[in-house]
Amino acid sequence: MSQQTTSGADRRLRHPGAVHPDRIESFASPPIKKSFTLQPGLTLCEAVAHPLAELGIRSGALLLSGMRLGPMQFVMPTWSKTPDHVAYYSDTHRPEGVIAIDFATATFGERDGGPFLHCHALWRGPEGERCGGHILPFDSIVAEPTEACIYGSRAVTMAAAPDAETNFTLFRPAAVGATGGSCIVARIRPNEDLVEAIETVCRHHGLTRARVRSGIGSTVGAVFDDGLRVDEAPTEIVVLDGRVAPDAEGAPRVTLDIALIDAFGRIHRGTPSRGCNPVLICFELILQAETDA
């Protein structure tokens, strides 16, 4: 880590595949917001999939803070051992006992014809240390009944499919029903600036005010407004809070508070600097359009 700043252009990485022409994809649809209970004894994916199937939800943002998982399995970001990827996942971690999650959001969608979710979470370790990672939804079990919340769509899917540019299997949104509404489902591709890309999504949908319901993905290291820089490229990030409001000229301007997990498992928190944080692999975004009070 250092205090030196670097432009986003200097931080971009070349991926193994050809650059896809569509850098930002997003769809608007009517929102569905509902609270439900995660039932114990089920995998995290099962506990989410059952109630969302009853609601007919195809994609969305899950708020899972406060859940308790045991056993829980997770991975963290690390360097790739081969040229097939610019970054990769660590070996699987299996902490003992029941883990109380402080903060977690997830993107809900589908993979291989069944329900799937991409979850980044924060919790405390046995010595009180801050921990975080990518929760494995088929290998983590809900330990206690917990209230969760979905903000989602019946008209937009998030389907995981092989991505030739990054050589990963990634979520990609697509419209399957009537579009138009206050729920925006988006995916941002590599090397697009995180902050500027969110504002591009807002402009595309005519939004000047919005709330980030979930933002999950990775950036090439990070540069924060307080001057802190994370130099190592592999990261995972989760948006803790995100708001869009008009600037002096009426254009959408986003302010983000994120948590970032680096390649050494350290947790960093702050506001990512504009123009300095290119997306590493992808960034999944669920926005709620808001109106002026």
Same domain, 95 and 175: no
Give domain status of residue 21, yes or no.
yes
Cα distance between residue 157 and residue 284, in whole Å: 12
Cα 170 → chain centroid: 12
Same domain, 42 and 23: no
Quick one: average pLDDT of 58-76? 98
Residue with tokens 């970032």: 260
Cα distance between residue 293 and residue 291, in whole Å: 6
Same domain, 206 and 127: no
Same domain, 165 and 81: no
DSSP output for 34-91 = EEEEEPTTSBHHHHHHHHHHHHT--EEEEE-TT-EESS--EE-EE--SSTT-SSEE-P
Convert the pLDDT of each residue in 86-96 to its tens digit: 999 999 999 99
Give domain status of residue 134, yes or no.
yes
Same domain, 188 and 255: yes
Convert the pLDDT of each residue in 211-238 to its tens digit: 999 999 999 999 999 999 999 999 999 9
Nearest to 119 by CA among 264, 261, 242, 222: 261
Q: For the chain, what is the domain count? A: 2
137, 153, 169 — which closes off a domain?
153
Convert the pLDDT of each residue in 175-201 to its tens digit: 998 889 999 999 999 999 999 999 999
- CB proximity list for 217: less than 8 A, separation 6 or greater: 188, 236, 237, 279, 280, 281, 282, 283, 284
Same domain, 147 and 216: no
Same domain, 266 and 172: yes
pLDDT value for 18 = 97
Residue with tokens 């199937």: 53
Give domain status of residue 3, yes or no.
no
Convert the pLDDT of each residue in 92-142 to its tens digit: 999 999 999 999 999 999 999 999 999 999 999 989 999 999 999 999 999
Give domain status of residue 39, yes or no.
yes
Cα distance between residue 45 and residue 23, in whole Å: 29
99, 128, 153 — which closes off a domain?
153
Q: Which residues pair with 60 in a beta bridge?
A: 108, 152
pLDDT value for 158 = 98
Domain that holds residue 144: 32-153
- CB proximity list for 186: less than 8 A, separation 6 or greater: 24, 25, 26, 27, 173, 201, 284, 285, 286, 287
Same domain, 13 and 77: no
pLDDT value for 6 = 53
94, 128, 153 — which closes off a domain?
153
The b-or-e profile of 19-45 (16+ CB within 10 A means b, else e) is eeeeebebbbbebbeeebebeeeebbb
Give domain status of residue 42, yes or no.
yes
Q: What is the CATH number of the domain that holds 105?
A: 3.30.1330.80
Convert the pLDDT of each residue in 14-48 to its tens digit: 999 999 999 999 999 999 999 999 999 999 999 99
Same domain, 14 and 85: no
Whether pTM exceeds 0.85: yes
Same domain, 51 and 189: no
Nearest to 62 by CA among 116, 107, 101, 103: 107
Q: In the structure encoding, which two tokens stand for residue 83, read together?
A: 């040229």
Give domain status of residue 92, yes or no.
yes
pLDDT value for 179 = 84
Give domain status of residue 1, yes or no.
no
> How high is the mean pLDDT of the chain?
95
CA dihedral 149, 238, 280, 246 (to 10 degrees): 90
Does pLDDT of 145 surpass 80? yes
Nearest to 151 by CA among 9, 281, 55: 55
The rounded percent of the chain whose pLDDT value lies above 90 is 94
Give domain status of residue 2, yes or no.
no
Same domain, 181 and 121: no
Give, in order, the Cα–Cα distances in Å from 59 to each of 13, 62, 155, 179, 196: 29, 9, 8, 13, 24
Same domain, 83 and 21: no
Cα distance between residue 244 and residue 196, in whole Å: 12
